[in-house]
Homo-oligomer: A and B are copies of this chain.
Amino acid sequence: MKTTIGFEEALRARNLKVTPQRMLLLGEVSRLGHVGIDELYEKVKTVSPSVSLATIYKNVNLLVEEGVMKEVPIEGRKSVYEIDRGDHIHFVCRTCGFVEDFNTDSDELCAMFTERYGRQIDGFGITLSGHCSKCRQ
């Protein structure tokens, strides 16, 4: 589990200032796992009501560009965001939209796809779908 200290380091390493808004935002994304802009804004506001939506947008865009967070685009829904911890793919529940991480080995998968399609593959986004335990029954 990534700690709050880890985020401070990540910010400093990129010459970004460690502000309360950023730490709160990163903490919520980390805690929730995957979260859309609206939900993130709501959660952040419950802790610190003065934080503005503009700050959420500015920071999400910035942190995605800087590689601290990652956008997870989903068919038929709005994108959600996560802390970039690398090497995993996503499982989305067809019914409720809940997103889970599945561990994977990126290099292995890239190699597999590169061989299978005869083209150099250096990245991928994989979103599997099915039903989560709650919606399965």
Contacts and interface: CB of A to CB of B under 8 A. Distances in A.
Interface of A: 64, 70-76, 79, 91, 94, 102, 113, 117, 119-131
Contacts of A75: 70-73, 125
B121 A130 contact: yes
Contacts of A79: 73
Given A71-B76, A73-B79, A124 B126 contact: yes
Protomer copies: 2
Contacts of A126: 124-127
Given A74-B73, A76-B71, A117 B129 contact: no
Contacts of A130: 119-123
Q: 5 tightest CB-CB pairs across the interface, nearest first?
A: A73-B73, A123-B129, A125-B127, A121-B128, A124-B128
Residue among A71, A72, A91, A119 with most chain B CB within 10 A: A119
Nearest to A126: B126
